[in-house]
Each structure stands twice: as structure tokens, then as C-alpha cells.
A and B are shown apart, each in its own frame.
Chain A
Amino acid sequence: MTAPGTFVARYGIWIFGAVLLLIMPHVFTSSFALNLMSQMGVLIIFSLAYNMLLGQGGMLSFGHAIYFGLAGYFTIHYLNFVYDDIAPYIPVSLFPLLGGCVGLFFGTLVGYVSTRRAGTTFAMISLGFGEMVTALTLILVAIFNGEDGIQTDRVVGPEPLGISYGPNIEVYYLIAVWVLVAAAAMYALTKTPFGRMSNAVRDNPERTEFIGYNSQRIRWLAFALSSFFAGLAGSLHAINFEHVGFEQVSALTSGLVLFMAYIGGVGHFAGPVIGAVLITFLNGTLTTYTEAWQLYLGVLFVAVIMFFPGGLAGLIIMHQPIWRIDTRLLAPLTVPYLLFIGALLVSLIGFIGLVELLIYKTSRLGAAHDLTIFGITMDPSGVVPWISFAIVMAVGVYAIRKAFPVAAGAWNTAIDQARARAAQ
């Protein structure tokens, strides 16, 4: 990291991100899109926080939503207390900090016991805590109000600078600012002694003990700091929706953030950002088109684990050595990659067609309607659509098997050329 980066090289991506966050609501102006983007922001923070555990610290948690959700509950309660004049007023803009502290508190507490072990033991303990807290949120109705969750009105107290946080756009910008602050803070953390040692503990916990570090202490610290940012995100989530319910602490949310971080790529700082944006987008829009989006999401997750464990960010980063040397080396990759993507699309069309047919068959036994897939209307009771999609899928899979070695070969050639050029 001694590369003499110019100002643009070092801060360019951050400025780009800030500008993007600034102009997005002017490009996509609908209330739905605005809400979706706000949610993306919240989940970017949450999945980056989660990746402090999984990607940076090597801890697989099945229960990180606890800190996200509990901070949300706290935020809503506090807002309501302010309404009822029980608690002193705090500007809404600073609530995320408060939520972060709640996350930090619970993270420190639970982390103390759960981080004494790493690996699968840690994963199991997180599962156990997750189940217990979810059960408690349902039972302790006075605090969590069960399935209904609790509600608030975020427009409270004086309005500094005329910002009331009534309009959604103001909340969007609040989230945008916090996304930048939290992402920068978490990025900075990776560069500190703690961040480095967190990586070291992930790679080889035993060795850290022999260079003077207590690996449990590092895991604990990582866990607590990650919970802080998870709490920060949870607080923003609560402000955004003015509601928090048991879903936010449940295994569902824990699983979702795991999906985001992993599909985006845990090996790279920006991976969870990509994952959060992509999954939130799919989550929000695919439901309009198909009932099977959860299956597609699951298949995508399994495919990432099996075929590209680096996630989407990993796919991009594996080309970094090439473009660093010479972007023109990427040109010969175009055709093989397009071939591969084409094959992938063909097999996907076949797969999606079959899935949609099957779903239609099981879910609408009674009424006989026509089915429209990819703009083609067909009679799902006949055998023709089934055979057609099966053939398309078979062709696609065959093409993938042919195209993959070509694409992989092209990448190998390019990287070899890049290395040869670098050695010169």
C-alpha cells in the first residue's frame, strides 16, 4: 500500500460514490425507487458490517441480525419516548450513532462468550443466540410487541436547517451520508493494526498467539465493532420504515445479509456493497415478475459457493492484474466471454421456463389459465412447452461446458501476457 496514489486514484472512487448517491434520486424519482435505494443504503452498511466478521475476521454468523434488529427496536422506542417527553431530545440525524452503541453493547456482551471459539463452533453459537432472541421478541410483547412490531413517527422535535425527515428524500440523504461515513470508517478499520490482525486471525488464528496476540480478544473486538455498524444500520432501517418487527432480528434477516455479503464477494471490501445493491434490487423487483425469485436467489448463492467463491467482486478483481498492465489486453476476452454469457443465458432461459411451468402446475391446479413466460403465451397443460424448455436448457448446459474452457483459456492467456509484460 505504498503505491504513490494521486489524489484521484486514492479518493476518486469515494467521490464517485458520493456523486452517485447525490444524483440517483433525481434519475429514479418514483417513491418506490427512492424507498428501494434507501433500503440499499441501509443494507450496504449492514452487509459491510457483516463482512467485518465473515470476510475480514473469518467468522460465519447465522445470527447477526440480532444487533441490527435490537438497535432498531431501541431507536423506535426512543423516538416514541421523545414524543411522550420521557426521554431527552436527540436530533434524528444522530440516532444511528445511538443505534450503533446499542449494537456495540449487545455485541460486546454476546461476543464475549461466542468469540471464544472460531469456525463452526462460533457459527453454532450464533445460531443458538439467534433462535433465543427471536423467541424472546415474540414472547416479550411489552417490549417487542410480537409479530406486529412497533411503530413510530420520525418527525419529532425541532427541525434543524428545515429538515423534518418527513419527506422520504430527506431520509434518503440521511442514509446516503451515513453510508459514506460508515463505509469510510469500516474501510479505514481494515488499515489499522486491529484490521490487519483481524485478517491474520482469519488466516491463521494459532500463529497470532505466537506473535503476541490474544486471538480471542481480536475476534471479540471485531465482533463488537461489527455489531456497532450493524446497529447503526438497524437504526437507519427503523427510521426509514418507521417500523421494526421480529423479522428484523430473525434468521431471515441474518440469512439475507449472509447472502448479500457472500454473493457480492467476501474477499473484497466492495463485495458486500455489490451484493447489497444487487440482492435488494432483485428482492424488490423480481417479485413482480415471478413467484420463484427465492429459488433463483438460492440457486445463485449455491452457484457462487461452488463456482466462484470470490463472489461477484472476485470475478471483477481477477481481471485487475490484467487491466493494471494494459487495458487493451482485455479486448481478446470479449468474444469468449460473450460466448460464455450467451450459453449461460440460454441455459437460464430453459431453467427459468421449466421452473415457471412447474410452479404454475402446482399452484394453479384449479383454474386453467394460459401462462406467459418471456412474452410467449403458452398452454401449460400441454407437453410441448416442457419439452421445448428442456431442450433449450440442455443445449445451454452443453454450450456452457464447451464455452467455459474457451473463456477460462482466454483469461489464462491474458493473465500470462500481463505477467510477461510486468516482468519486462
Chain B
Amino acid sequence: MQVTEYKPLIVAFCCNWCSYAGADLAGNNRLAYPADVKIIRVPCSCRVNPTFILRAFQRGADGVIICGCHPGDCHYTSGNYYTRRRMALLFSMLDYLGIERERTRVEWVSAAEGAKFAATMNDFVSTVAALGENKRLEDLRCKK
């Protein structure tokens, strides 16, 4: 496989109760993942507005991942079920507009899944790195 030098910028939205705790656990266990991942804490994955995702792409993000509690485990009972529908529709739309589907992802990471968090981030970063720079949803004004 070709070694890519591209360092992507990844925005990860993590729900406070599961995935953010999962990320903390990955830290506690010193499970490394690329520093390209920057986490934003939200109370629940259902707090993530599609606008935030587009905004991230506009400002130069190359990939956006949303992490929440596993379906059925939402701290707020049903938040991640709404996330699931919203993002299914949004991702399908982005794909329809010809935007690389690999740039967006939803993963369910529980507070106990530090290893899964790190593995997911490693995988996502390498997937996005292979795609290279986000050109289809970029805002030229935001380029340096």
C-alpha cells in the first residue's frame, strides 16, 4: 500500500456519556491514535446538527465522525436513534451530491470501548488520509 503523507484534519463529535468516556478510556489505556483527530464534546450524538458537519468541511476538515452510545444505550433513551436517522439521510444526500462517502461516519462507542475508540479513529484517519484533501465541500476562502 502506498504510504500517504497527507495529514487529514478530522473532527470527532463525541457524546458525553459513552464515546467521550470511551475516548478517555483509550487515553487511560494509552491506546494511540493520530493527533489529527480533534474531539468536540456534545451531550448526546443527537445534538450534532448537520450544519456542524458542513461547517467543519467548509473550514477545512477532511473527515467528520460522530460517536455516540450504542443504540439502546443512549443516556437520554432515544437520542442516538434520532442521530441514526438524521445521519443516514444526510450521508445519503452527501453521497448523492458526489461527496466521498468515506469522509463521514457514525460509530457507536461505549464508555467501555476505549480500544474500539482508538481502532475506529486509526481506521478513519487512514481512510480519510487515503482520500486526500477535501475538495468537494471546501470553501476556497478558508484555504490558507
A binds B: no
Which residues of A approach B to under 8 Å, CB–CB? none
